[in-house]
A and B are shown apart, each in its own frame.
Chain A
Amino acid sequence: EAGVVQSPRYKIIEKKQPVAFWCNPISGHNTLYWYRQNLGQGPELLIRYENEEAVDDSQLPKDRFSAERLKGVDSTLKIQPAELGDSAVYLCASSLGTLEKTQYFGPGTRLLVL
């Protein structure tokens, strides 16, 4: 079974530029999560999708971050414009349902904003 796929794995951009991350969850997983992980820290949830609906985006900085999950499968997380403080690893995870269901994480996209 294929795991969660993310691309790109690495991205270096200059501040004020836009950037987008893509995630393909495990087939059949209806719940998808985007996390941000700063260096030396644990992941922090940005947004959670149930199928195509964003059901928890309370931690998403909506002035510059946006996300979508078309057709309830793949998802894209966008930052526009990027700031220096956005440098982090962006992790995507998926699960089959939410209540006590194990989350499966992708390898992440490491973003460096210069």
Chain B
Amino acid sequence: SQQGEEDPQALSIQEGENATMNCSYKTSINNLQWYRQNSGRGLVHLILIRSNEREKHSGRLRVTLDTSKKSSSLLITASRAADTASYFCATVKLIIQGAQKLVFGQGTRLTINP
């Protein structure tokens, strides 16, 4: 079963605007990751935030994590047409033998209009 749930399921904004996507999860995690998937392509890792971190930046991306609310948000600033894609959060928890398991949400489909 999938743990992360993204909100909204779809988002359409004008180029240059900021886009915010949210992810909620149910159980405790070790870290949370965000991935991007362009149409017909594989997933690309964007950013990882650990459970003891509250905010992380990477270029135009800003990720926050609130473990008390079991939620995370991904902010893309100054959006570009090339940002059009589906964005997935993936929660990570340790399983047996120290390995990690990624559980993906359903994704947010982001469309940037020129």
Contact = CB atoms under 8 A, between A and B. Distances in A.
B44 A42 contact: no
Given A105-B43, A106-B42, A107-B41, A45 B92 contact: no
Contacts, number: 65
Given A4-B42, A102-B48, A105-B43, A42 B101 contact: no
A25 to B, nearest CB: 12
Contacts of A91: 42-43
A44 B45 CA distance: 16
Nearest to B89: A42
Contact of A43 (B43, B94, B99): B43
Contacts of B90: 42
B48 A44 contact: no
Contacts of A93: 42-43
Interface residues of A, number: 25
A56 interface: yes
A56 B31 contact: no
Given A56-B99, A107-B42, A100 B30 contact: yes
B114 interface: no
Nearest to B3: A42
B100 A42 contact: no
A93 B107 CA distance: 18
A99 interface: yes
> Which 3 residue pairs spanning A and B have beta carbons closest together?
A42-B104, A105-B42, A98-B99
